[in-house]
Each structure stands twice: as C-alpha cells, then as structure tokens.
Structure 1
C-alpha cells in the first residue's frame, strides 16, 4: 500500500504527457502556469515543509531566475539554456550569502526577515541599467507552448523525485529533526547549519529554474512581477493546503487551488480573490495540517477529525 501513491503519480504523469495533443491554447496556458506554481510550492516545501522554516523570501530566487535568463537573452543574445544556468547560479549564490546569517533566526523572526527580501531585491534590480531598470526587459518571442509545457512538467517531476528522495534519506530525517526540535537535533549530532543551508540551496535551485522558464514563456519581465511578494504567499498557501513536509501534498494543493482560482476568476471576476481567501480560511480551520493529514485523520476518526481540529486550535 505504501507504493500506491507513487503508482498513481506515475499514471498521472503519463496522462499529463498527452495533454498538449488534446488541449486548447487557453487550456495549455493554464496548464503551464499550474505546473510552474506546483514547482514553486514543491520547492518551498523542501525548506518550509521539512525544516519548519516558513520562508517568505523564495520569490527572490524566482526573480533572480527570471532576470538571469532575461539578461542573458535580451542583453547578450545568448541561448535560453545559458540564461537558465545564469539565473540558477545567481539564485544559489544569493541563497548561500543570505542563508548563513538569516537561518540563525527562528520562528516568526525568520519569517519577518525573509518578508523584506523581495522588496529589497526588487529595489536593487530596478536601479540596474543592465536589468532594464524599472522598464523591464523584453525577451525574444517564441510560440511554443508545447515546449514550455514539457519543460514545466519535466521540472516538476525532477523536483518531486528530489523531495521523494529527501523524505526517505538521512538528510530528510535530519531536516525533520530540525523541524521538531532544532536544539535536540544538534545535540544528537545533526549539523543543523549545513542541513538548513542545503535545503535552502535546493529550494532556490528549483525556484530559479521555474522563474527562468516563466520568463521566456511570457517574454517580458519587470521588477514588480519578478519579485512579487504575493507569489511567495501563494507558494506557502498551496504547500500548506496540500500538506507540508509530504511528497505529494504540495502538488495536490497547488493543482486544486489553481483550478479553483482560475474558475472563480473566469466566473466571478473581482470576487475571485475574496472567495479564494475564504477557501483558505476554511481549510486552515478544518484541516490545519493540510489535505494529506486530513485523509488519515478522517479515516481514523471520521467527522470528529474536523471538530478536534477546531478545539485544538481554539477556534
């Protein structure tokens, strides 16, 4: 039974491969966006889900990935793959530079510290002529939704396989130990600094790749969109909704919430954000540990599971 989720995931991936053959142009654009958001949620899960360090700074790595790709392609006419590598290098270097000082903070102090990173980086980039300043950069236009879909799906598969490895490895056990009790983990011999930095770098790596793919896909970026802090909020919400610290929870959460938001935006327009927020509030009240935890909880306790969550969280 433990292998059943992986069998289901394999079947879903095989089905997703054939989507470009049957989907309309509008459906393809939604699918690419949903896949990239799932990558972001899964990448955030490596740090936030397994170590418990709730980061609101992952949009910095996303922005560096987009700008690394855009600068290489728009300013130096380099191939997309070169720009993608440049964006990843920028994100990883940034993760290493900010990781050592900022990961010394814990809990709300860490979250608050990461909250201002996107705004700071956006202000820096908006004053750099090579990055187009506030105007932004225009990338070469290419009509290849199938290519971007395949890149997004492939990246999501690789990111998920990495998370699956983490969940079964000694490294992953160390991250979970940090999440449960960091001081005790250090006492037991876990090099908490190295483990946290590694998790941050892995998270930055996949986030930057998603940013680079998105930049080439939309063919235009500016500081406001590249370093949008609300994007990081969506990563957190999707991962937490699905189940942080699990392999498939962030994926399920991101696909469900992306679909709900798209439906509400097309049907109710301006009220979409409000209703989307209401869905999140209800989810936090009735299943604060996500869908993955809810499945086991309902199986064990039935409808009482939701009442227990309300009592435990004093709601």
Structure 2
C-alpha cells in the first residue's frame, strides 16, 4: 500500500510540473493539443484494463465516451452543473452501462464479444440521434465560460481536470497490475477455462473490469461538449476514438500500466504535430501503418522492445 501512495505522490508531482510547464509556454494551443493527448492517455489506460489485462477486446470505446458527454449535456439542460460533477455523473452512467453490458455479453468470448461491443456503440448512437432533449441529430452547442478563477481560460481548467483524471487512471491501472485482482485478470487472459477450474471468480472479475473501464471512459467524455463547443452524434461516436484507444496500448504494450501511457503520449503527440504540419486526415493512416508494423514486428509493443515485459512490481 505504501508503494501505491509513493507512486501516486510521484505522479501528482509530475502532473503539477507538466501543468506548470504548459502554462509557462503562454500559448493556449498547447492546452488544446495537450487536452487531446491526456484524453487518449485516459482512454488507452481504461481500454487496457479490460482489453490488455483481461484479454477482452472492446470496440465500443466511443459508446462509453459519448455516454459521458451526453450525460453532461443532459445535466446541463436540467440545471447548471460544475464540470467535475458532470465527469463523476458520466463515470457513474458509463460504469453502470459497462456493468450491464458486461453481464449480458461477457459469456461471449473472442471476436463475438468484440462484435457485441461494436453493436453497443451503434445502438447507443441511434438512441442519441433520436433523443431531442440532448440535441438529437441536429447536435447541441455547449458554451464554455471565457474565464475561470485561478486558471484563467476555461481550456486550462479542462486540462487540469483531465490531467487529474489521467493521474487517477494510471494509478489505478498500476494498483490493479500489482494486486491480487490483477493476477485474476491475467489468469483469465491466459486461460479462462483453467482459471474457472481453479476457482477464480471469472465472471465477477470481468464485471469489475468492464465497470471500471467504462466508468473511466465516461469520465473522459464528460468535458467533450465544452472542448468541441458543438456536439453531434457523429463527432461523439467517432470511430477515431476506438481506433486510437486500441492502437495506443498495442503500440505501447498491454501487459504493464506503462505501455498504454507510453503509446498514448507518443502517438497522441505525433498526431497533434501531424495535424498542424500536414493534415488531420493523415492521422488514421499513420495509426494504421504503425499498428500493422507493431503487430507484425513487435507484438508486445514498445515495452517488449525495451525488455520490460513480465517484470511485475510487488505491492
């Protein structure tokens, strides 16, 4: 436990240093780009809890992200709600949907589970498109305040919240990896039938993984309307979120908490640079080529190339 708090303290110090460095630059574009990279750090780590540790590939990332976003929109339509409350509410809604979806689909395995999660995204997008209260197919505007006390611009406030969430998700991922829960996840990933035969509560562990993964994705999605300022189903359920959230852990490595973080930081930063220097349309092409290259040449990702796989820390 002391190791966890020591790691959490170091992560908080690193996050504070990063935020201070971004403010020192004095350019809001750094915050807009940084927000996207941090969002992918959260999504990659959240996806890895289920896809990497347990071995169940989730193609429905955009569904959970959009659930968080539209939960915030719905709350905003009812009464003015602070963004942190929207993030918590989005996490609760997405976590419950993840729990329910897990209960209904986790008896499926392999490609059948992956298809079921993709179907979830399609169903939810259809429901949102026809729900006029949150804008429906016409979309909805989200007007963010120009200034926030202490932080100044609202984008800096959003980056601070996303940075805080990233620290929490990374710390939880590491805690899972070094705990008995993580050992249960690995047992399911390696051989689920054998794990069941030896008494591992596979269904309960898988439900925990789907709920945690979905909740973190929902929390990451709650600020999305204020980042985009205009939210519509096609942007909230964008396939890019699913592709990146899967590619980043696979490129970084799925067996350790550091893999998704490394993949998200490198690939997310590269995408922001490419967007400015070349074109945003090239991003998915780059992701696809990198993903093919790593699957063929380095299936264990960057942490495999660095020789870090299999090294587990004790809690």
Q: TM-score, normalised by structure 1?
A: 0.87
Distance 1:8 1:82 in 2: 26
**CA 180–252 in structure 1, closer or farther in 2 if over 3 Å, else same:** same
Q: Residue 43 of structure 1 aligns to a residue in which SS?
A: helix
Contact residue 32 and residue 149 of structure 1 kept, 8 A: yes
Q: More deviation in 236-245 or 77-86?
A: 77-86
Residue in structure 2 matched with residue 301 of structure 1 by the alignment: none
Distance 1:291 1:8 in 2: 23
Residue in structure 1 matched with residue 100 of structure 2 by the alignment: 97
Residue in structure 2 matched with residue 149 of structure 1 by the alignment: 159
Deviation at 1:72, TM superposition (A): 0.9
Deviation at 1:279, TM superposition (A): 2.5
Residue in structure 2 matched with residue 37 of structure 1 by the alignment: 40
1:18 pairs with 2:20: yes
Contact residue 50 and residue 172 of structure 1 kept, 8 A: yes
Contact residue 90 and residue 215 of structure 2 kept, 8 A: no
1:84 pairs with 2:90: no
Residue in structure 2 matched with residue 280 of structure 1 by the alignment: 291
Deviation at 1:12, TM superposition (A): 4.0
Residue in structure 2 matched with residue 74 of structure 1 by the alignment: 77
Contact residue 127 and residue 134 of structure 1 kept, 8 A: yes
Distance 1:293 1:107 in 2: 23
> Over residues 90-119 of structure 1, what are the superposed CA-to-partner deviations in whole Å (9 max), with x where a residue is unaligned?
212211221112111111111122122212
Structure 2: gaps of 5 or more residues? 147-153, 310-315
Q: Which of the numbers 42, 50, 54 marks the counterpart of 1:51? A: 54
Q: Which of the numbers 122, 128, 131 marks the counterpart of 1:128? A: 131
Deviation at 1:297, TM superposition (A): 7.6
Q: Which of the numbers 186, 189, 192 marks the counterpart of 2:199? A: 189
1:204 pairs with 2:214: yes
Cα RMSD after superposing both structures: 2.2
- Equivalent residues in 2 for 1:144-183, closer than 5 Å: 144-183=154-193
Contact residue 252 and residue 301 of structure 2 kept, 8 A: yes
Distance 1:152 1:285 in 2: 33
**CA 55–14 in structure 1, closer or farther in 2 if over 3 Å, else same:** same
Q: Which of the numbers 244, 251, 270 marks the counterpart of 1:260? A: 270
Residue in structure 1 matched with residue 149 of structure 2 by the alignment: none
Q: More deviation in 27-36 or 221-230?
A: 221-230
**Number of residue pairs aligned between Structure 1 and Structure 2:** 295
1:137 pairs with 2:140: yes
Structure 1: gaps of 5 or more residues? 299-315
**CA 118–178 in structure 1, closer or farther in 2 if over 3 Å, else same:** same
Q: Residue 222 of structure 2 aligns to a residue in which SS?
A: helix
Contact residue 72 and residue 89 of structure 2 kept, 8 A: yes
Distance 1:193 1:148 in 2: 36
Distance 1:84 1:283 in 2: 34
Deviation at 1:151, TM superposition (A): 0.6
Distance 2:119 2:102 in 1: 14
Q: More deviation in 271-280 or 176-185?
A: 271-280
**CA 9–158 in structure 1, closer or farther in 2 if over 3 Å, else same:** closer
